[in-house]
Amino acid sequence: MRLTILGGGGFRVPLVYGALLADHAAGRVTEVTLHDVDTNRLKAVTGVLAELATDVPDAPAVHATTDLDTALRGADFVFSAIRVGGLEGRAADERVALAEGVLGQETVGAGGIAYGLRTVPVAVGIARRVKELAPDAWVINFTNPAGLVTEAMSRHLGDRVIGICDSPVGLARRVARVLGADPADAWPDYAGLNHLGWLRGLYVNGRDELPRLLADEALLGSFEEGRLFGADWLRSLGAIPNEYLHYYYFDRETVRAYREAERTRGAFLAEQQTAFYAEPSRAAWDRTRAEREATYMALSREASGAGERDAADLEESGGYEKVALALMRAIARDERTTLVLDVRNRGALSPLDDAAVVELPCLVDANGAHPVAAAPLPDDATGLVLSVKAVEREVLKAAGTGSRAAAVKAFALHPLVDSVTVARRLLDAYTAVHPGLAYLRM
């Protein structure tokens, strides 16, 4: 089986390869093709993968190329994990928004819109090449903003593209642990969009255990989301939000903390990874990754007094590569499983339309990922989800037509952008710093 990784020089690729190395079953991936636009990064990651493969006799062969068509031909699975504009681009997304006093974050708010505007045209270009050269391949999209990018690609690839994220799995795992349940036995009643979802129940042996958690102050204070949001607010919601909802529910505090910070997350990571790519090795990768994980959402945790990340969360990496591998296995071997994924709605979550990419538990088998019908969200959550979906669609429209009016509308409609004037200034500032937005001319 042949796997192609787009963004193959990316920092998280060794995680994926590490997961592949642990798979010795029949039907496993035997060939990995890394594609990247940057040969230095490809060389660095190829070197780390070779170190990881030492002493693993059946390690998948690794090829590297900068030619997209070569990478796609013959692929059974395509993982797309690109970062258009690199970490410098991310840092600019964050910085420009914060300078306007609104949230500057990788995937949320104005920063996420800028990132989406830059990324969608590139993702659509990839989708077109996949359709032409590897029409039977399954595309697993990690490229952020993952929900929006998956929807853009689904307009060309239908349900052959499936988006993934590690945050719903991480949330369900933490909640299961707190409740003393085995995460593998728990069914998460999770619904929303990517980075905008809520865990409304956790079923173990047919029984919803979440009410027990919500009723227990000490338990609520004992895990990441409990500390981020606070027991009172979680009880008011009657659900545990994805950690990214911290940006919505505590917008003012987060923006203040982010503005006061010495540098943005993107700037920190850019610096960190520049050092890694200058002198790459497995040891340097391990160190860099540990530091990255320990500081994940550090400012949000600081703003809410949540303290350090739990040792248990740090030991067990995000689970991103595990979701990817589990998804690929279920499809390739028809091993039926359930995963929270980003897929077209197809009637599963009301009142979103069928083509809207949503994040829901899905049954996965050789025919792909099928979202399981979910109870509607409460009005407050539905309101947020519909607003953000409307924003995503303006981004898709802008990306498809080059319309600046649509791009301004995307910024202006976002719940975390408080004025149309600010939206106009944001677009002007982003077009000034991002060459990748030059297409917005209409």
For Mn ion, the binding residues (CB under 5 A) are 165
Using CB under 6 A, pick the residue from 18, 47, 121, 318 that binds ligand G6P: 318
Contact characters 104-123, ligand G6P, x per CB under 6 A: --x-----------------
| 292 touches ligand G6P (CB under 6 A) | yes
Burial of 375 (0-12, 13-18, 19+ CB in 10 A): exposed
Applying CB under 6 A, the span of 109-117, 164-172, 402-410, 412-420 interacting with ligand G6P comes to 164-172
Q: Closer to ligand G6P at the Cβ: 12 or 28?
A: 12
User: Which of helix, strand or coil describes residue 358?
Assistant: strand
CB 246, CB 304: distance < 8 Å = yes
| 165 touches ligand G6P (CB under 6 A) | yes
| 212 touches ligand G6P (CB under 6 A) | no
User: Which of helix, strand or coil describes residue 134?
Assistant: coil
Exposure string of 123-160, with b = 16+ CB inside 10 Å and e = fewer, is bbebbebbbebbeebbbbbbbbbbbbbbbbbbebbeeb
Q: Closer to ligand G6P at the Cβ: 304 or 431?
A: 304
CB 248, CB 193: distance < 8 Å = no
User: Cβ 292 to ligand G6P, closest distance in Å?
Assistant: 5
Using CB under 6 A, pick the residue from 248, 249, 277, 296 that binds ligand G6P: 296
Distance CA 14, CA 34 (A): 11
Using CB under 6 A, pick the residue from 265, 322, 389, 414 that binds ligand G6P: 265
User: Cβ 165 to Mn ion, closest distance in Å?
Assistant: 3
Backbone angles phi, psi at 208, to 5 degrees: -80, 115
| 167 touches ligand G6P (CB under 6 A) | yes
Distance CA 395, CA 296 (A): 27
Applying CB under 6 A, the span of 46-54, 161-169, 324-332, 397-405 interacting with ligand G6P comes to 161-169
DSSP character for 323?
A: H
Distance CA 274, CA 291 (A): 14
Q: Closer to Mn ion at the Cβ: 120 or 165?
A: 165
Contact characters 78-107, ligand G6P, x per CB under 6 A: ----------------------------x-
CB 18, CB 48: distance < 8 Å = no
C-alpha closest to that of 331 among 357, 372, 354, 363: 363
Distance CA 238, CA 37 (A): 46
Residue count at the site for ligand G6P (CB under 6 A)? 11
| 242 touches ligand G6P (CB under 6 A) | no
Helix, strand, coil fractions of the chain, as percent rounded to 5: 55, 15, 30
Applying CB under 6 A, the span of 33-41, 165-173, 204-212, 389-397 interacting with ligand G6P comes to 165-173
Q: Closer to ligand G6P at the Cβ: 83 or 329?
A: 83
> Where does this chain bind ligand G6P (CB under 6 A)?
106, 144, 165-167, 265, 269, 292, 296, 318, 320
